[in-house]
Structure 1
């Protein structure tokens, strides 16, 4: 019985890791036990962490994973283990009974198939689940490299001054992480004890507790369709009137209205323990039709999020056979998005969920399937060597763009700094090589307003790229809904196609629910809010340096990060962890944060920061 319980715990941990869809199980809480940190003499008040993973926990994990392998070899072992996993999940109160049972049944086939075919040994599995203190966080073949084409890198031109205000500019609408909940119910229980609440099946709230708001809720809830419609109505109004909002007054814009839109995934809600393929397809078609209704002839370039699949985070390589294949999803996306994408883009979308398209002469969009780099995609435990050949394809697209004098915008869901290490470092290497071609990078996933820096690989001192992580539509959790418009260098000779400014809009949820009237407002414009002359990589690097010493400036950034709704200040280790994350365009790289902490402290900072990821 003890052996089965241990094995079931391991399977329950694997299932719940996928169920969480956010930080891995080893992500640390904000407050750790006293004495865990030692003072860092390099930066007063910053502390270093010893590993929170005890030797005993790691040993138990390795033992349990070994028992999972042994149990699966027995007749009926898969079903028996799933039942035991659900029981352990309930007894340990990892989730309530309904979630535990539904999750183990939904994830059973997916997790067991990966375990049976994975080359990971128990130590590596525990490294993935509990962090590198318990073992290598990846398969033994994890060190692989993408081949760059044998073409010399063009000389890097120093950035020039921003174009004058009279120069043409494009406006790009950016929407991410909608997480529409079709079962959202105004007045329902918003503190239901499950990962997602505010749903019709949750019933009425407890006496004295407020129910779910009409337009959304700050608690563990996603958004109703009416909130998504309200957002699109506001974005469309701006497109037609060609205006920017400054301090609640409308002023004439300098562009030609929204030229195109980027939509970087995560359409369905967070009830991942009960979602079927049909549920995901309904979310895809419903929200896609909503975009078409409100945006009209504006071309939308979508990217695949980690919540689009069923089960969540399940994105096998294209070679996966039968019911394990993602063809059901990619084919549906190709059909739904054929109104926006050219036929050659649909070919690679059907193959692996990625594509490229020419947005206009001189500007190419590359949409990457970042699930092929995700630490929560268990399929990569079988083989994570450039899944679907996507990065090699990316290199070939970039080389062709360089040859043709095109600039490139890269879009995706999960930012590269959150990816598996080898994938992330290969991506970073590609960005270094094609820094003169890649004009901008846009991602989502974290639900908050952030960015990631890229520096030259030789010295890690010359900033050469920035990836924007834009705020979510969903309120999940404790956030206002939001969206963004990017000002892009427009059609002119020697256009950089770079981001010149961005404007973030939000809905004050408390006000909207109280007045029953959604009023979208400008939260901030980047250049004005942070006193930046431009938004080049060097300017963002300078902002990081200023925020390190200027607590008031950092507090403004923290307020914007949460879309104007933040209940707790970020000080001490919280601040250092965030500044470290903003510097880190590649994952697990202590050198990126050498100015902030000693290398041995880096793992602790990553743990703290990952706890804030709300995906």
Structure 2
């Protein structure tokens, strides 16, 4: 896209102002002195001899199925609650509505009402304390969540949302169109139109890729994602509570044996106990001792998003990194950042937000420290800036890990300025062009 992006300038401590005049992308770049044209990492991470891996036998008669294609009149061999859901719901219609954002109409209306009310309170001079009290009362009185969840959500999210809304000069229509997406109307907003610069280099001719021969050398790659390890999971606790996350001591005793959390986890509103993650990793280690490398795409903390702190999330990250390092001591691991790593969830301020209470450096600096167990020191610059990096896996094969949280419309900080946050896309273009010059193939994760 092209047009006039917004400008963010820090003129006073902790103050962000928005220039209303459409300006060029070059002017945006002038505010950020970071040089994205960094030397690419060119020392191969894998030095072992290329191997031929024996893959599991494939049943030629097997056919992939989507869950909503299952015959709902037959036994599915799924957990009982899933089986009941399949019989009660027309999942094809549900899938269609989700895919087409039809279910977002309710969210859209709520977003506009809530945003409009908050902006009214901010403009009429209500204090943050008063606004937080109002949000909490709405949450409790409308029975949106339990009082303690309402309190946690208010304390964690309200300050950030109030700050961002107080700096904006756009209204609920533009804000909610950005946050909810197409389901809330495609409202034109000139302050979120911008472009990146492509190098003036002719593109090579596209060549049809041939399928490798059956005995061609191969990688065996393990991909792990969304473990959401819950350190407070408790066997026998209530797995059917009235909160977003259950299976904890704080959820009280189960009302029946059927509502009890199992030893290895529960299919209801619960995250994974450590014993399950340990068992899974041990099984992988025993079954696949010849893994070449691991893709680890984040989302490590549990889903108690109303009850999280920066220290608690960092503790989970450190413990999970230790777990992976001990289980796969000689296997390169290439991580990517999930949206749950931050506290509050989805909160990833771009580099221009550098005040101590709002900066994301608390997370990125620690990720650099933890990821250094597998990544070279040469990527520290980009990891600490925006949690993205590029490494050479083998000669001719590069891996780029992007921080997709700068493309997350639930990241409220992007309402201030969505113009290529952290200059990540411009850096990405430069890396891809360098790879093209070198004849490298590139695998992108995020």
Would you say same fold, with TM above 0.5?
Answer: yes
Distance, in Å, in 2 between the alignment partners of 1:378 and 1:138 is: 18
Whether contact under 8 Å (1:120, 1:382) holds in the other structure is no
1:136 Cα deviation (Å)?
3.6
**Aligned pair 1:276/2:309, yes or no?**
yes
**Aligned pair 1:235/2:284, yes or no?**
yes
Change in CA separation of 1:162 and 1:175 when aligned onto 2, cut-off 3 Å: same
Q: Mean Cα displacement is larger for which, 358-367 or 389-398?
A: 358-367
TM-score normalised over the length of structure 2: 0.74
Structure 2: gaps of 5 or more residues: 1-85
**Aligned pair 1:212/2:238, yes or no?**
no
Change in CA separation of 1:185 and 1:176 when aligned onto 2, cut-off 3 Å: same
**Aligned pair 1:154/2:204, yes or no?**
yes
Decide which structure has greater strand share: 1
**Aligned pair 1:379/2:413, yes or no?**
yes
1:65-104 Cα deviation digits (max 9, x unpaired): 3332231244552211111111111122211111011110
Whether contact under 8 Å (2:406, 2:414) holds in the other structure is yes
How many aligned positions are there?
A: 355
**Aligned pair 1:298/2:331, yes or no?**
yes
Which position in structure 2 is the counterpart of 1:490? none
**Aligned pair 1:406/2:443, yes or no?**
no
Secondary structure of the 2:295 match is strand
Q: Mean Cα displacement is larger for which, 141-150 or 294-303?
A: 141-150
1:205-237 Cα deviation digits (max 9, x unpaired): 113433111111100110011111111111211
Distance, in Å, in 1 between the alignment partners of 2:431 and 2:236 is: 50
Change in CA separation of 1:404 and 1:212 when aligned onto 2, cut-off 3 Å: same
1:571-590 Cα deviation digits (max 9, x unpaired): xxxxxxxxxxxxxxxxxxxx
Change in CA separation of 1:50 and 1:209 when aligned onto 2, cut-off 3 Å: closer
1:348 Cα deviation (Å)?
0.5
Whether contact under 8 Å (2:271, 2:303) holds in the other structure is yes
Which position in structure 2 is the counterpart of 1:21? none
Change in CA separation of 1:288 and 1:134 when aligned onto 2, cut-off 3 Å: closer
Distance, in Å, in 2 between the alignment partners of 1:129 and 1:378 is: 8
Distance, in Å, in 1 between the alignment partners of 2:195 and 2:222 is: 34
Which position in structure 2 is the counterpart of 1:188? 237
Distance, in Å, in 2 between the alignment partners of 1:113 and 1:385 is: 19
Q: Mean Cα displacement is larger for which, 58-67 or 329-338?
A: 58-67
Distance, in Å, in 1 between the alignment partners of 2:104 and 2:297 is: 34
Change in CA separation of 1:162 and 1:231 when aligned onto 2, cut-off 3 Å: same
Distance, in Å, in 1 between the alignment partners of 2:217 and 2:211 is: 15
Structure 1: gaps of 5 or more residues: 1-29, 38-44, 241-256, 413-615
1:253-307 Cα deviation digits (max 9, x unpaired): xxxx211111000000000001000011001100000000000111101000000
Q: How does 1:491-510 map onto structure 2 within 5 Å?
A: none
**Aligned pair 1:262/2:311, yes or no?**
no
1:124 Cα deviation (Å)?
1.1
Which position in structure 2 is the counterpart of 1:127? 177
Greater relative contact order, per chain length (Cα 8 Å cut-off, separation 6+): 2
Which position in structure 2 is the counterpart of 1:503? none
Choose which of 119, 126, 132 in structure 2 pairs with 1:82.
132
Choose which of 249, 262, 266 in structure 2 pairs with 1:200.
249
Whether contact under 8 Å (1:120, 1:381) holds in the other structure is no
Q: How does 1:185-584 map onto structure 2 within 5 Å?
A: 185-240=234-289, 257-322=290-355, 323-412=357-446
Distance, in Å, in 2 between the alignment partners of 1:264 and 1:126 is: 28
